[in-house]
Amino acid sequence: MNEDYLWDKSGQPDPQIQELEEILGTLRYQPKPLVIPRDLVAPPRRRNYFPLLAIAATVLAALLAAGVWIQVRTSSEPQPEQAKVPTVVEEPRRDPVVKDSTPANKPVSKESTVASNIRRRHNTSAIKRLEREEAVAAKEQLMIALRVATEKLSLVHRKTQTTTPANQIKNQHRIG
Amino acid sequence: MSATLDMLGMNPQIDAAAEHSPATRVEAVLVKAVLEGDRDGFGQLYGLYAPLVHGILLARVPRPEVDDLVQDIFLHAFKKLHTLRDASAFGPWIAMIARNRAVDFHRRSKETVEINDDLRGSDTHDSRAAEILELVRSLPEAYRETLVLRLVEGMTGPEIAARTGLTAASVRVNLHRGMKLLREKLGFMEGL
């Protein structure tokens, strides 16, 4: 059997295969026109939006996660006092612009400075109150200690003055 | 057909890139054109693939039923073309539709009656062809489909592989083994 002829009709033709081709060729497809009814329309291809939706959802989820993470991070960090300073400092910068139209002592800048002073006063008064309380407590402790020391000294003084010479001799004997 | 392919820029003689796999490229362009409303494009697909569908059916169902089934399958494919994901896989897709339709046909009808009808021939040559075809149909499914496409429809091995989506090696093996089995069966026949 010639395999090349069976495969792609090349090479030496195989007589038995040729005979089979000749006999079976009578059954070959006879071209006929395809009649497609006029009312039959090929539906348009359905757009598959799933990959696009999946990408959009992923990006949205990533953005949300990043936003939450940044918010959590900033809120967990202790905000230093200095961080508030720029907001206070920024306001006086507006002064020159406003100065052109209003007098130098304008209420806006005053309010801002007053507000900042009030904050400072609040802070300093709170600190002073704490310090004063501590100082008063320390002073009381010191006074108590002084009183105790004075009492002890007076007791010792009294004891030394009331001692008799016999006792002294007694004591000397004990020592010796 | 050539004019339409020229319009689409997919004439194998013009497009050098199409020389690598002109059949699949052409069918992909035609499928897209049909989905955009070009009914003539489907006529071209029918012209390209009707022999394949005819051969697949001839290996499975009685001959008088084949022509009607070919028309039905192409009309069904026209209606369902939008479900084809890979436009270049039109051949394997319609081949699968044809195989499934043949299975459906046998479920719905009584085979004995149809075989008797099939064996009726107008002349001796036709009856011999029907007898040999019946021998081919008695072979395993993979062999009989490949042999019918080769011996009846006159396709070469590479053409069968390209249109059915099978590998060239599979087609070659099927052809060789199928032919060997057919020769054994034909040994009992007179006149061959």
The pLDDT tens digits for B133-182 are: 999 999 998 899 999 999 999 999 999 999 999 999 999 999 999 999 99
Instruction: State ipTM.
Output: 0.76
The pLDDT tens digits for A129-165 are: 888 999 999 999 999 999 999 999 999 888 888 755 5
Separation of CA B53 from chain center: 3
- The residue extents of the domains of chain B are 1-110, 121-192
CATH number corresponding to B121-192: 1.10.10.10
Instruction: List, in sequence order, the alpha helices (H) in chain B.
Output: 2-8, 22-35, 39-58, 63-79, 90-108, 111-119, 124-137, 141-147, 157-164, 168-186
Measured CA to CA in angstroms, residue B173 lies from A43, A98, B92, B178 at distances of 39, 94, 19, 8
The whole-angstrom distance between A21's CA and the closest CA on chain B is 5
Question: How many angstroms separate the CA atoms of A135 and A129, rounded?
Answer: 10
How many other C-beta atoms lie within 10 A of the C-beta of residue B164? 23
Question: How many angstroms separate the CA atoms of B71 and B79, rounded?
Answer: 13
DSSP B151: I
Interface touch A34/B74, C-beta < 8 Å = yes
Local confidence pLDDT in tens for the 176 residues of chain A: 667 899 989 888 888 899 999 999 999 999 988 888 877 777 766 666 788 889 999 999 999 999 999 988 888 766 555 555 455 455 555 555 444 444 445 454 444 555 555 555 556 777 788 889 999 999 999 999 999 999 999 998 888 887 555 555 555 555 54
Which residues in chain A are closer than 8 Å to B42, comparing Cβ atoms?
A: 34, 36, 42
Torsion sign across C-alpha atoms B13, B14, B19, B23: negative
Which tokens hold the place of B10?
A: 């997919």
B74: contact with A, CB 8 A cutoff: yes
Nearest to B51 by CA among A6, A25, A13, A10: A25
Ramachandran quadrant class, B165 (left: phi over 0; alpha: psi -120 to 50; beta: rest): left
Half-sphere exposure of B13 toward its Cβ, with a 13 Å CA cutoff?
5
Please give the helix or strand (H or E) that residue A7 lies within, else none.
Answer: helix A3-8
Helix B39-58 with B157-164: angle, nearest 10 deg: 120
Question: How many angstroms separate the CA atoms of B91 and B104, rounded?
Answer: 20
Topology classification of domain B1-110: Rna Polymerase Sigma Factor; Chain: A (1.10.1740)
Question: How many angstroms separate the CA atoms of A14 and B180, rounded?
Answer: 13
Task: Supply the pLDDT for residue A152.
Answer: 92
Which tokens hold the place of B53?
A: 């569908």
B178: contact with A, CB 8 A cutoff: no
Question: How many angstroms separate the CA atoms of B90 and B73, rounded?
Answer: 13
B37: contact with A, CB 8 A cutoff: yes
Interface touch A42/B183, C-beta < 8 Å = no
Which residues in chain A are closer than 8 Å to B79, comparing Cβ atoms?
A: 40, 42-43
DSSP A156: H
Task: Supply the pLDDT for residue B12.
Answer: 37
pTM for this prediction: 0.58
Nearest to A16 by CA among B191, B149, B156: B191
Interface touch B151/A24, C-beta < 8 Å = yes
DSSP, collapsed to helix, strand or coil, labels residue B146 as: helix
Interface touch B39/A20, C-beta < 8 Å = no
The whole-angstrom distance between A12's CA and the closest CA on chain B is 15
